[in-house]
Chains A and B, each alone.
Chain A
Amino acid sequence: NAGVTQTPKFQVLKTGQSMTLQCAQDMNHEYMSWYRQDPGMGLRLIHYSVGAGITDQGEVPNGYNVSRSTTEDFPLRLLSAAPSQTSVYFCASTMGGGGPYEQYFGPGTRLTVT
């Protein structure tokens, strides 16, 4: 069981470039989410998905797109990177949202936009 995996671990982008952060889980979890972590701000929810084909916005969705074509994968796309998107990104999965379910986190992707 690999749990939640994320690639890449580190990435440097120039302003205006696009890229996709990959996230996969092998626990057959329906619910997946993306967070960004910034100093002094905790983790903030970007987008989430309650199942294949269903996504919704979180607290800070602007500048990011997601899709969920399979249960296992939940990629996060940066359409046109901006310095404000410099952050550490975490993907998480859980059995279900809205309940006492543990979220399992990936190791994170550290993104720098110059």
Chain B
Amino acid sequence: AQSVTQPDIHITVSEGASLELRCNYSYGATPYLFWYVQSPGQGLQLLLKYFSGDTLVQGIKGFEAEFKRSQSSFNLRKPSVHWSDAAEYFCAGNFGNEKLTFGTGTRLTIIP
């Protein structure tokens, strides 16, 4: 069955440190992949997406993600986090139909 997995429920990072959030998918072909961010009490905002071509994708707010077919992964990275990056992050995939499948999310806490 097609699925998206985010293995980390909660991550704590110091301000200024680098960040990597993990995302794995299960699908027999290459899906369309997305990262969304949700600030407290808000809706979801698209950070970046991958659908073909260059496997390193740049997004908004200084985020990037790398698609690795061999590992079925689409990890999100940022070289230096800011306190305003504290939020919940969702990886999502589209597996050739009309539906978007979300992972369970990773909550990011930033400590000074």
Tell whether A90 is near chain B: CB-to-CB under 8 Å: yes
Query: Across the interface, which residues of B come within 8 angstroms of A56, CB to CB?
Result: 98
Tell whether B51 is near chain A: CB-to-CB under 8 Å: yes
Tell whether B90 is near chain A: CB-to-CB under 8 Å: yes
Number of A-B contacts (CB under 8 A): 61
A43-B94 contact in complex given A100-B32, A102-B46, C-beta closer than 8 Å:
no
Interface residues on B, range: 20 to 34
Tell whether B9 is near chain A: CB-to-CB under 8 Å: yes
Interface residues on A, range: 20 to 34
Query: Across the interface, which residues of A come within 8 angstroms of B9, CB to CB?
Result: 40
Give A residues with C-beta under 8 Å from B.
4, 31, 33, 35, 40-45, 48, 50, 56, 58, 90, 92, 97-100, 102-103, 105-108
Give B residues with C-beta under 8 Å from A.
6, 9, 32, 34, 36, 41-46, 49, 51, 90, 94, 96-105
